[in-house]
Structure 1
């Protein structure tokens, strides 16, 4: 598979023509003017945006434990991926990879593509999302609403090669979130998600969380949070929750970066059939493998607890966070735990909130629902789970 740099060079302008230096100078000046304006627009979007909320999940007061969800669904494009898309566009622009009039191509199961379509429209370049045919209709609608075009594949494992080929064919730029997510974001601060969490916790009774739980699609969010924690010398531990049909857990436990699996994740936005380059296993402290039925049970429990629907990836993280809370209760420890509300549930009404879809997938959420109810009622996690 070609790299973004190779994709860009396939359609990039060649070096200056000594016979036409005046035209080249004029074109270069026009490009630099376009680049400055594009970067200004992306940065202005961030400047207009308020921070996302930190919501409390209700737990019994006597436990002495606070559970929070960082609500990333309130970004203008509705998900955690808005931060990533902004960083990737700034990275691509400042590296000279994104050029006026040339398309940006991305391999995505949906939410990243929605956010990137927004930024592509903001700076006036075409956008093509390469995605599985099973992507939720609502995400497809949102990508097209923001001016993007959807290119479907039947096998999610072919998204990478298809995206790279489209970049070559069109002279565009393959953004490649799975490679560049961890390096495009400034993990030392600059209003990244980790810095935001700690700032919002400053006046809470446990301002330094005991655990932060993230989920992995690219691995960029967990890398950003973990690096920030180490850089700032916090004692917080980082857990990554991984769904079924994903390789991050197996790769982390075995130390094998080449591990793969044969089918795609049912939890949109997270879980990958290979260990992605942006996943940084050495930066995190713990991983949990979460059954898909448990992820669905958790998002439904979240709606019952705070009245908010969320996507399946939120449920994967929340399930792991609740297990950590149970461990803290059992050990008599106090403190805070933070996980992420990644995107809104209205994108998945025909999936995670549909009993018909659950039956078709063979998913029984009842045992996992009972486990959550038992924990919240007694403080004890059922031993079978």
Structure 2
């Protein structure tokens, strides 16, 4: 019986895909790593706190790494071809980075986001050639993104599902490998805690898996803002009604996303929204660091952990991320008038931050179990 060649004729897509992959890898090859900044805490502390400054990426945020990984994942799995419309559900920073890479590859890009997204981020997406579609309910972004992808014959990148698998957590200069390498000559080279927020859950999955792969004693703390589904689910708590979704851009979700891997998380801390914004202001005024609100969320918890270590008489280091710069939020979180309109009393948290920074003492009169005491 003759052998039949059943190979179906396929369009000549490989040359375009090969060139697209080369461009993305070349971009990574010519990019320097981001800085690990040690905060200047009072003399005599045996606890160090570091910020991994992801705002220095070409697209200005932590999501630059994720966006590149998502594009490589989609290309190597055959989801993207010449002319494919790329669609993403994003609160802003991922969309900015994906729009950048879509423009690099000559692909149309559409971002689906909540209407409250900061105008600065919208302008950055449009500057990169992307188009923005807005929804009133944060939970609508998934279905609207799928519908646009289907209508255009495009591809829904779906960061909330694919972030944890698109990133190579085993190595390849991921954020965990980079951070631990930069700590190698510090006095506490293995961090006691790494503190990150969860939007997709991809960053927390990368750190948690990397610690286990290399047998590191470091622990992972994930911070969560008000209204997010991650912390209640992690704690096994019943919630009254559905989570409303986060008002802190970039972290917190109205549902537990598929990319969030709770099994690699050691601890979660809830941070009030007003505390996140107060920390943003504190870092700007006291330290000269401009950052977004999700960085404020993480630093607030990192300082709490530093005070816990000092209270226990333990030494160590704590690392968190500077996810993006404050210039993206000048008309929202950086505007006192806008903040007042949200009903946030940031003043109540500034003394907590000041005492933690100056004395290494956490004031339980204001904070108790992740929420402000009343």
Calculate the TM-score normalised by the size of structure 1. 0.91
Look up the match of 2:236.
254
2:251 aligned with 1:275: no
Look up the match of 1:12.
none
- Aligned-residue offset at 1:255: 7.2
Look up the match of 1:220.
202
Instruction: Verify the 8 A CA contact 2:229 2:243 in the aligned structure 1.
Output: no
Residue among 19, 40, 58 paired with 2:40: 58
Instruction: Verify the 8 A CA contact 2:119 2:331 in the aligned structure 1.
Output: no
Q: Report the Cα distance in structure 2 between the residues aligned to 1:37 and 1:93, rounded to whole angstroms.
A: 10
Task: Give the direction of change, closer, same or farther, for the CA distance of 1:207–1:259 in structure 2 (3 Å limit).
Answer: farther
Of 350-359 and 101-110, the range deviating more from structure 2: 350-359
Look up the match of 1:189.
171
Look up the match of 2:245.
264
Aligned pairs for 1:275-354 within 5 A: 275-354=256-335
SS at match of 2:44: helix
Q: Report the Cα distance in structure 2 between the residues aligned to 1:259 and 1:174, rounded to whole angstroms.
A: 32
Look up the match of 2:351.
370
Look up the match of 1:173.
155
Gaps of 5+ in 2: 1-5, 368-374
- Aligned-residue offset at 1:247: 0.6
User: For each residue in 1:162-208, what CA deviation from the matched residue of structure 2 results, as whole angstroms up to 9, or x when unmatched?
Assistant: 00111111100000000000000000110000000011011111111
- Aligned-residue offset at 1:261: 3.2
Look up the match of 2:21.
39
User: For each residue in 1:17-57, what CA deviation from the matched residue of structure 2 results, as whole angstroms up to 9, or x when unmatched?
Assistant: x9xx8xx45x32xx100000000001111001000001111
Q: Report the Cα distance in structure 2 between the residues aligned to 1:158 and 1:359, rounded to whole angstroms.
A: 27
Q: RMSD of aligned C-alpha atoms?
A: 1.5
User: For each residue in 1:52-78, what CA deviation from the matched residue of structure 2 results, as whole angstroms up to 9, or x when unmatched?
Assistant: 001111211212111000000000000
Q: Report the Cα distance in structure 2 between the residues aligned to 1:102 and 1:259, rounded to whole angstroms.
A: 42
Q: Report the Cα distance in structure 2 between the residues aligned to 1:187 and 1:83, rounded to whole angstroms.
A: 12
- Aligned-residue offset at 1:264: 2.9
Normalized per residue, the structure richer in helix is 1
Q: Report the Cα distance in structure 1 between the residues aligned to 2:280 and 2:318, rounded to whole angstroms.
A: 17
Q: Report the Cα distance in structure 2 between the residues aligned to 1:138 and 1:262, rounded to whole angstroms.
A: 27
Q: Report the Cα distance in structure 1 between the residues aligned to 2:306 and 2:241, rounded to whole angstroms.
A: 31
2:15 aligned with 1:70: no
Aligned pairs for 1:146-161 within 5 A: 146-161=128-143
Gaps of 5+ in 1: 1-17
User: For each residue in 1:82-122, what CA deviation from the matched residue of structure 2 results, as whole angstroms up to 9, or x when unmatched?
Assistant: 00000000000000001210101000000000000001111
Instruction: Verify the 8 A CA contact 1:218 1:279 in the aligned structure 2.
Output: yes
User: For each residue in 1:130-163, what CA deviation from the matched residue of structure 2 results, as whole angstroms up to 9, or x when unmatched?
Assistant: 0111111111111011111101111111000000
Task: Give the direction of change, closer, same or farther, for the CA distance of 1:89–1:260 in structure 2 (3 Å limit).
Answer: farther
Q: Report the Cα distance in structure 2 between the residues aligned to 1:185 and 1:360, rounded to whole angstroms.
A: 38
Instruction: Verify the 8 A CA contact 1:260 1:273 in the aligned structure 2.
Output: no
Task: Give the direction of change, closer, same or farther, for the CA distance of 1:180–1:138 in structure 2 (3 Å limit).
Answer: same
Instruction: Verify the 8 A CA contact 1:57 1:305 in the aligned structure 2.
Output: no
Calculate the TM-score normalised by the size of structure 2. 0.94
Look up the match of 2:186.
204
How many pairs align? 360
